[in-house]
Amino acid sequence: MLKIPSFEIDHLRLKPGLYVSRKDEVSYETVTTFDIRMKRPYREDVMDTGAMHALEHICAAYMRNDELWGSKILYFGPMGCRTGFYLLVVGDIGTEEILPLIERTFDFASDYEGEIPGATPIECGYCVDMDLEGAKAHAALYYNLLIDAKKENFNYPKKRQKKEKP
């Protein structure tokens, strides 16, 4: 099997942040995949499924309703390792460009009140696993991280140079 590019990132040196994971050409359009990395791998606890699930519903609903970006959002969903989310957007887009949307989204989620969008048995496959308070806490932490983010939170760690054989 070929190695998937996202497995080539050194996760031991990866900081939480916002990264361009990949860009794919799909029938005359570029699709940009963003790595919304909320937790530092192996240094911080991963998120619980209930908190991630609630965040997924709230953030996806918010982004799809955004006037500027809504029609370009292809997919927003959790990473299996529970350290963050992937966001797929139509267009050749950089982190500076998408950052305001991500900030708005997590700011919105951080003090969300009321019914979680789509959290009914008809609309969702396991709507009993929802933790709104957890979702809000993780959203607030990530929002604050973005506000104070530095270059290193937007650029993947450089690849380790393989030692050359003598």
Q: Which residues of the shown chain bind Zn ion in the complex (CB under 5 A)?
A: 124
Residue of minimal Cβ distance to Zn ion: 124
Contact 21, 35 (CB under 8 A): yes
Least separation, in Å, of the C-beta of 57 and Zn ion? 6
Burial call 122-141: b when 16+ CB within 10 Å, e when fewer: eebeebeebbbebbbebbee
Give 15 or 53: the residue with its C-beta nearer to Zn ion: 53
Residue type, 75: Y
User: Quick one: tokens of 104?
Assistant: 């708005």
Give 18 or 59: the residue with its C-beta nearer to Zn ion: 59
Least separation, in Å, of the C-beta of 141 and Zn ion? 22
Give 80 or 166: the residue with its C-beta nearer to Zn ion: 80
Least separation, in Å, of the C-beta of 124 and Zn ion? 3
User: Quick one: tokens of 41?
Assistant: 């791998």
